[in-house]
Amino acid sequence: MIDWSQQRVLVTGGAGFLGRHVVAALERRSPADIFVPVRESYDLRERQAILNLLHDARPTLIIHLAASVGGIGANRAHPGDFFYDNLMMGAQLLHESWRGGIAKFVAIGTVCAYPKFTPIPFREEDLWNGYPEETNAPYGLAKKMLLVQSQAYRQQYGYNSIFLLPTNLYGPGDNFDPEASHVIPALIRKCLGAAERGDATIEAWGDGSPTREFLYVADAAEGIVLAAERYDESEPVNLGSGFEISIRDLLTTIARHTGFDGQIVWDTTKPNGQPRRALNTDRAAERFGFRATTGFDEGLRRTVEWYRQTQATPVSGL
């Protein structure tokens, strides 16, 4: 168990969507210091920038959230960028953290790392039983290399690094940029815009059949901090809500919350993405006592309300 009063915590990506909630969860524990780097000062793809960051922050604990992320469209258009940026950030930061004697490293992976046809619910043991869904495989595999590196460094050097796999996140402060947003903010933006204009129809990608699990961002942040506090093992750990919903039902629910009462037209020429995603969350509960507490309908209501109040202000970061 960590003594937070002695911890200097570096949170990469701490100014982003998930990061701000992780920082808030840390602040409730009163560590000695929380250092949140900004991209303009520390480009984590560059080794020298990482060395400068570690020198300036002097951390005892690193929570690595920083990532280059996007939806299906962005991943299809820029697979090389997603692979290179995420691989270089993670591999160099973990390596220099070990070299610098930083006591613990918390690596954040992605549900996109799972094989395309993983049995439901996804269990950590199935992580290597196939290739990820093609549209986001470069991103998922780049993040998955953090697990390989984490386990290799623990085996060879005894380094205390852990690897967490959060499912799709949502909540207030999400990225609503149409070029980079994930499914929930993209659909909220689409439905609210259509409702305000009085549109009779909206178009959605695929056929609506894939299912997804969504985790409210504040719950995810609490899970990450609990793992940092209590978990010191090599095995990857899922962070999820235990609630699975089809994209069709998701869009119907968002339409209800946003006031859009028109017709939904499904463009089946566009990709569906991975057929199903839902995580087994037993390991997180058993190893460090994490269970999600925010119901999906309530979390969605809060997210829509936040976006209404901040209308079309894009938020960058993870």
Show the tokens assigned to 202.
Answer: 């909206």
Residue 180: predicted pLDDT: 65
Beta carbons within 8 Å of 308's beta carbon, 6+ residues apart: 192
Element holding 161 (H helix, E strand): strand 161-166
Identify which of 213, 198, 182, 189 has the alpha carbon closest to the alpha carbon of residue 304: 189
Token pair recorded at residue 262: 């028109």
Mean pLDDT over 174-196 rounds to 87
Q: Which residues are catalytic?
A: 139
Element (H, E) at 15: none
* Residue percentage of the chain with pLDDT more than 90: 83
Q: pTM, whole model, 2 decimals?
A: 0.90
At 300 the pLDDT is: 96
Q: Say whether pLDDT at 69 is over 90.
A: no
- pLDDT value for 310: 86
Average pLDDT of 24-49? Answer: 97
pLDDT digits (tens, 9 = 90+) for 91-142: 999 999 999 999 999 999 999 899 988 999 999 999 999 999 898 899 999 9
pLDDT of residue 275: 83
State yes or no: pLDDT of 191 exceeds 70: yes
What CA–CA distance (Å, rounded) separates 9 from 168? 25
pLDDT for res 314: 46
Question: Reading across the β-sheet that carries 211-216, which strands appear in turn?
Answer: 168-170, 211-216, 244-246
Tens of pLDDT, residues 115-125: 988 999 999 99
Residues across the chain:
318
178 vs 318: CA distance, rounded Å? 15
pLDDT digits 0-9 by tens, 201-234? 999 989 999 999 999 999 999 999 999 999 999 9
> Which stretch of DSSP H or E encloses residue 18?
helix 17-27
Give Cα 141 to chain centroid, integer Å.
Answer: 14
Of the pLDDT bands very low, low, confident and very high (cuts 50, 70, 90), residue 271 is confident
What sign results for the dihedral spanned by CA atoms 271, 274, 276, 278? negative
Query: For position 77, what pLDDT does the model report?
Result: 86
Of 139, 147, 44, 18, the closest CA to residue 83 belongs to 139
The per-residue pLDDT of the chain, averaged, comes to: 93
